[in-house]
Chains A and B, each alone.
Chain A
Amino acid sequence: MRRALALLAGVLPASLMAVVLFLAIYAWPAIRFNGIGFAFENTWNLGNLYANPVTIAGTQIQPGAHYGILFLIVGTLLSTAIALALALPVGIGAAIFLAEAVKGRFRLVVSFFVELLAAIPSVVYGLWGIVVLIPFLSRNVFPFLARALGVFPVFAGPTGSGYGLLTSGILLSLMIVPLIGATLRDALVGQPAELREAAAAIGATRFECVWSVLLPRTRTVIIASTFLALGRALGETMAVLMVSGNALNYLPQNIYAPISTMAAFILSQLDSALQDPTGMAVRSLAEIALILAVISLLINVLARVLLYAAGVKRRSF
């Protein structure tokens, strides 16, 4: 009985292991061929697809083929950083508001409404990004930003088409903010009443109590949920694919410039990678997927360990 259950249950860990294992096996020739330069060089070039394959270091590739994904790493890190920089203050602010300023049934309803942001599919975010966010940002916000903050080269124009780094960051921040906000709201609501009473009794206002007494106690929760959000933002595919501008071999010169991320690149490039008869391009994409899998694995384990150490009850998702 117990054995049978344990065996059936084993499919879950087994599928995770299978993902990492098969990606690693499949990507192995690419890992050997690309070496460490994969992460530091800025050229993704399939080589001459019309020529006969050549053998370099025991590996068959198309002549001129070279795989480096620095621009993807930069794009992924920058868009994630922008998303976190926006999502953290907004998530903390919304959590304070929901935990302290509204009560009872109303709190349940408005919290639920905001947390539905987590349920909206990625591709619908992308659609909203294309239809609403990009026209709005590129016409109204970006020109204003470039004028107001133009002294900093990062914010100086050209502001481009609206498809790019900042748009991706803003969209990502909306997608990850419920992760931070909901976890923190639960943690704030769960703080002992004695602390509030003690703070009130020495003359602290309600907000001072939240800011100086309760919030510092939820530090671990904030850090852990930020890690969870980080993992989500790094691996987000569809929304970023639709609004990032899908730059190739290009490092962004300002905050409006087109980018691409590792996750979005896997999706956008598989079709052309399949044109490579040696298969090295497809294997290099598998190497990107493997890197993403390992990073998200590490981040999620770290976040769960932190949350466990903070004694936070696990939410359903």
Chain B
Amino acid sequence: MAAALERGRAAIARAGGLGWRRGLFVAAGWSLSALAFLLLGVAMAWIIWVVVARGAGALSPALFLTITQGTGGGLLNAIEGTLVLAVGGLLLAVPFGMAAGIYVSEYPFTRWAAVIELLADVLVGVPSIVIGYFGYITMVEWLGWGFSVAAGAIALAMIALPYVCRTTEVAMRQVPTELREAAYALGAGEASVIFKICLPAALPASLTGILLALAVAVGETAPLLYTAGWSNYLWNGRLIGSPIGYLTYAIWTFINEPFASANALAYAAAFLVTAFILVINICSRFVFDRRR
């Protein structure tokens, strides 16, 4: 690179400098790219600032200890519901998603693997409201579950599936081929190579991916509104037949209420959701970078 730069500088010098048109083009190009970056940086910082400044002010012990009452009260029901729905969704998504990821990474070049890979990418792109509406007409209406934990968790599982599949696949591919070859050479069968050798090695990265899927599930709103419904009360432990609250609903509904107490609930919910998601994203990036 140094030699090339040297020759380039000489060429520019022979031409008598860049000249004003080229100079202007280069200067404008750099400034516009810097401006574009700055714009995004400012937007990101602004969003975080608003959520943190307004949300932190709305936090109080009562928020975590009481349930929602009308347009005030606390968020205990929503916090509990978000955890129940997200954990439930992941419990469903993890076995199937990991199986899909393992299959794609261990049997590449098969037709089924290609199909799963492509459809996982497509499923990520399906609008979450479409999955929510699908959940409504099938589970809530047709199966008659009503607004329920089961319907909400299954909708979330469908959204988390491709994330789990994809991160498992990436994690499994990071396991060196030599390890598999060594295991086969020692006489291990296919099942033990996958589950006793590769999967443990891939588990930390794979768990990170599952955490990212959890972050996605916690941040979803549209697929839950017509599957999980909303409830002011704590979860009664039933999987079908009774609705459940969650934080993103509180953000959506309470920000449009004319009452300060309702708005405070929305800010607090936004703070909790955003903080949770950012922490997971930052931690997972840290883990992935260290492995690289």
Contact = CB atoms under 8 A, between A and B. Distances in A.
A binds B: yes
Nearest to B192: A1
B8 A202 contact: yes
Interface string A55-81: 000000000000000000000000000
Nearest to A89: B36
Interface string A13-34: 1011011001100100000000
Interface string B156-168: 0010011101110
B112 A205 contact: no
Contacts of A145: none
A263 B128 CA distance: 9
A43 B11 CA distance: 66
Contact of B36 (A90, A130, A204): A90
Interface in A168-205: 174, 177, 181, 193, 196-205
A23 B215 CA distance: 28
A137 interface: no
Contact of A119 (B123, B270, B278, B289): B278
Which of B36, B99, B218, B270 has the most chain A CB within a 10 Å cutoff? B36
B122 A301 contact: yes
B97 interface: yes
A286 B138 CA distance: 11
B118 interface: yes
- Interface SS of chain A: helix, strand, loop or mixed? helix
A89 to B, nearest CB: 7
A235 B129 contact: yes
A121 B30 contact: no
User: Interface size class for chain A?
Assistant: 35 or more
Interface in A1-49: 1-2, 5-6, 8-13, 15-16, 18-19, 22-23, 26
A228 B125 contact: yes
A292 B130 contact: yes
A124 B37 contact: no
Contacts of B148: none
A203 B12 contact: yes
A238 B222 contact: yes
Interface in A102-152: 108, 110, 112-114, 116-117, 119-128, 130-132
B50 A132 contact: yes
Interface string A277-306: 000001001100100110011011101100
Nearest to B191: A1
A98 B137 contact: no
A84 interface: no
A13 B118 CA distance: 9
A126 B255 CA distance: 10
Contacts of B50: 127-128, 131-132
Nearest to B274: A124
Contacts of A6: 103, 107, 112
B29 A293 contact: no
Nearest to A194: B4
A225 interface: no
Nearest to A105: B289
A182 B212 CA distance: 18
B215 A19 contact: no
Contacts of B30: 101, 207
B100 interface: yes
B100 A9 contact: yes
Given A6-B107, A94-B36, A293-B126, 19 more contacts: A1-B190, A9-B96, A9-B99, A12-B123, A91-B36, A97-B36, A101-B33, A116-B44, A119-B219, A121-B274, A127-B51, A131-B50, A197-B4, A200-B5, A200-B8, A208-B22, A237-B221, A237-B222, A293-B130
Interface of B: 1, 3-5, 7-8, 11-12, 15, 18, 22, 25-26, 29-30, 32-37, 39-41, 43-44, 46-47, 50-51, 54, 95-97, 99-100, 102-104, 106-107, 112, 115-116, 118-134, 136-138, 158, 161-163, 165-167, 170, 189-191, 194, 209, 215, 218-222, 225-226, 248, 251-252, 255-256, 266-267, 270, 273-274, 277-278, 281, 285, 289
7 contacts: A199-B8, A200-B8, A207-B29, A235-B125, A238-B248, A242-B256, A293-B130
Closest 4 CB pairs of A and B: A235-B127, A93-B36, A121-B219, A203-B11
